[in-house]
Structure 1
Amino acid sequence: MNLKNRFFSAEFIRFGIVGVFNTLHHYLWFFVFGVFLNYDFANVFAFIISMIGSFYLNCYFTYKVRPTFKKFIKFPLVYLVQIIMAYLIPKIGVEIFNVKEIFVPLLTSFSIPVVFLLSRYILKKEEKKIMKL
């Protein structure tokens, strides 16, 4: 499968749907925990719960693979890469290439294909599909 087909595939669209759902899922838990915890703790707990949800949604819905403990342990690497890229890409864009700060959200979207490929690699490596499309 060539690069163009990989990013215009049903799998990539499902990945985007999971990403939107996961963002909303995180905010929901943040607001629930925010009622009785300070925002730092609320955010951490919401992040952990939404990451677990993202793992299962990406296994079953996006990539259609069986979740395993080994994959579950590796999956946070996806978030680590995403966090690093979300910090570095805008920093480099603004401070080195003089991109206007208003474009920072657009710059961070460049991490999406990398996160897609990394999560795909972690979850699909040596795995047979459990469902057909």
Structure 2
Amino acid sequence: MKYLTEIIKFVLVGLINTFTTYFVYLGFLHYLPYIAAYSISYGLGIIISYFLNSLLVFKEKLSWKSFIKFPLIYVVQYGLNTLLLYIFVHHLMIHERIALLISIIITTPLTFLLSRWIIKSRTNKLEQVR
């Protein structure tokens, strides 16, 4: 039951973060080229995600160690989504607009598990010592 609650909160936080970073992107578009606007909003999205997931989803204290590791999740997610998109579009002939949605549905559980592992790793190690 605890994992189900965390998964639901994780998805809700992800939606909030996606909309927030999209609006930040739109705001930066008034002042910056789109690549710069995207890069800044994506970086801010990672930071927002770390704080929201740590405090609201997994209820963990913030730490520099997990904060530094957290962006690795997005590297993995980006690579896996890119690979899946390629397979879906070029090999399975799924339309590009639908392929990304399928990819996100597939990668979200992995992103959840990686986020949980990184954010809670300090706590888990402390619990193992006890």
TM-score > 0.5, shorter chain as reference: yes
CA deviation string 1:66-121 (max 9, x = no partner):
1101101000011111101111112123333x242253033212000010000100
Identity of aligned residues (%): 33
1:13 to 2:4 alignment = no
Match of 1:46 among 19, 41, 46: 41
Q: Which runs of 5+ in 2 are unaligned?
A: 125-130
In terms of fraction of residues, the more helix-rich structure is 2
Q: How does 1:6-85 map to 2 (within 5 A)?
A: 6=3, 9-85=4-80
Q: Between Structure 1 and Structure 2, how many residues are aligned?
A: 122
SS of the counterpart of 2:32?
coil
Aligned residue identity for 1:117: L
Distance 1:39 1:94 in 2: 25
Q: Which runs of 5+ in 1 are unaligned?
A: 129-133
RMSD between aligned residues: 1.7
SS of the counterpart of 1:126?
helix
State the partner residue of 1:100. Answer: 94
1:87 to 2:82 alignment = yes
Q: 1:106 to 1:27 in 2, by over 3 A?
A: closer
Aligned residue identity for 1:118: L
TM-score using structure 1 length: 0.84
